[in-house]
Amino acid sequence: MNTNLGSTIGAAYLGSVGACILYGATLMQGYTYFVNYPNDWLFQKIMVTFLLVMDTMHLIITTVVIYHYCINEFGNKLGLMSVVWSFKLQIVFNVIIVITVQSLYLLRIWKLGRRFNKLWPYIALLIQCGGYVVGILLAVETYKLRTWLELDGMGWVVNATFSTSTGIDIILAASMCYYLHRSKSSFISTNHRIVSIMRYVLATGSLTSASSLCSLITYVIMPNNFVFLGVSFLVTKLYTNSYLVMLNARRSIRGDKDSTLTMKRLANMINGPGNESSDAEVNTKDPLQISSVSYRTRLEESPDVDAKYVHQKNPSSNGVIDIKVSRTEETVFDGTDTKGWNRV
């Protein structure tokens, strides 16, 4: 083990500083999510909260590790060679965050994949289970460490961890893009939105896989210093941010909802005061919103009809007009709703 403080404790310190910066981005993404999606799926809210808590605990434990070696053991070479308990606990939080985010991506693939291919989602699940095993082995082997000199003896599990994490990220991103491509329809705007989702998936998947690959490369090239540890401190923050960015991107991908608001306003005018219809009722009657709906109303009951719709008055109808509204709405399945396709 290299005793140069710059490439050992210094590298770990720089990694913790980078982790603090990314943690600020995590908090911003978490705040944006809860503000913009207050009515999101309850399971999704629970998982976002869980990731934020785990990421916070990981940063606290990482800070404790750096404080121990930089302050408590300053100038004590024997103390610097021992593995502190907080470092072992930090690995546990690292593993939990990574496998949680990968499992959430796997859940999306499961929902998309069962519509096209029933076999591949099971294969992806089996691969993910391999990642669980490797992560548990890493945590167990780390807790056996007493000094940094013993780190060479667990090089196999470190290589397996970073390699497995990189491979799983690539498989998940490729699978998601494949199923999204299969989901394309004859609607041009829907296809544009699918392409936008694919870009987000590729960007976030590339970011997480690149961070794991970077940790692997630095460990293989420089196994006698802590440069790979400094990089690994950033991995959990990148995983958490990648998932939150995917969730927060849904509003921009779905686009404007003026059509939905106009339809609701029109239905409220037709039903009259006190009989407003909710979006939930409309979805229950026609989930995909592709049917043609006819309404009849009186001019005196709806004097302020939306100018967006042209009404043809029938002179022989004694003030009664006929309104026929044909509405076609495109849908994209983003994997966040267990009840089926989400409107965009």
- 298 falls within a domain: yes
Instruction: Give the residue from 254, 282, 304 where a domain finishes.
Output: 254
Indicate whether 13 and 46 sit together in one domain: yes
- At residue 89 the predicted structure's pLDDT band, cuts being 50, 70 and 90, is very high
41 within 8 A of 337, measured Cβ to Cβ: yes
The torsion of the CA quartet 128, 130, 132, 136, rounded to 10 degrees, works out to -170
Residue where a domain terminates, one of 213, 231, 254: 254
Confidence of residue 88 (pLDDT cuts 50, 70, 90): very high
Q: Looking at the structure, tell me whether residues 20 and 103 fall in a common domain.
A: yes
Residues 307 and 268 occupy one common structural domain: yes
Instruction: Please report, for the domain that includes residue 54, its CATH number.
Output: 1.20.1070
Packing angle of the helix pair 85-113, 120-143 (nearest 10 deg): 180
Full-model pTM? 0.70
Banded pLDDT at 77 (limits 50, 70, 90): confident
Domain count, the chain: 2
pLDDT tier for residue 177 given thresholds of 50, 70 and 90: confident
The model's confidence at residue 256, banded by pLDDT at 50, 70 and 90, is: very low
Instruction: Calculate the alpha carbon distances from 168 to 29, 137, 173, 232, 257 in Å.
Output: 24, 17, 9, 17, 36
List Cβ neighbours of 268 (8 Å cut-off, separation of 6 or more): 275, 276, 277
Residues 82, 36 within the same domain: yes
Q: Which helix (DSSP H) or strand (DSSP E) does residue 168 occupy?
A: helix 155-182
Q: Which domain holds residue 15?
A: 9-254
Residues 139 and 264 in one domain: no
Within-domain flag for 4: no
Same domain, 127 and 244: yes
Average pLDDT score over the chain: 76
**pLDDT, mean of residues 50-75:** 92
User: Of 254, 277, 304, which residue is a domain's last?
Assistant: 254
Using the structure block, give the residue that is written with the tokens 């965009």.
344
Query: Is the pLDDT assigned to residue 260 strictly greater than 70?
Result: no
Query: In terms of domains, do 250 and 263 share one?
Result: no
Express each pLDDT in 283-327 by its tens digit.
433 333 333 333 333 333 444 444 444 444 444 445 444 555 555
CA distances from 91 to 32, 33, 55, 159, 232 (A): 28, 27, 12, 15, 10
Q: Per mean pLDDT, which range of 35-49, 145-159, 216-230, 246-260 is the poorest?
A: 246-260
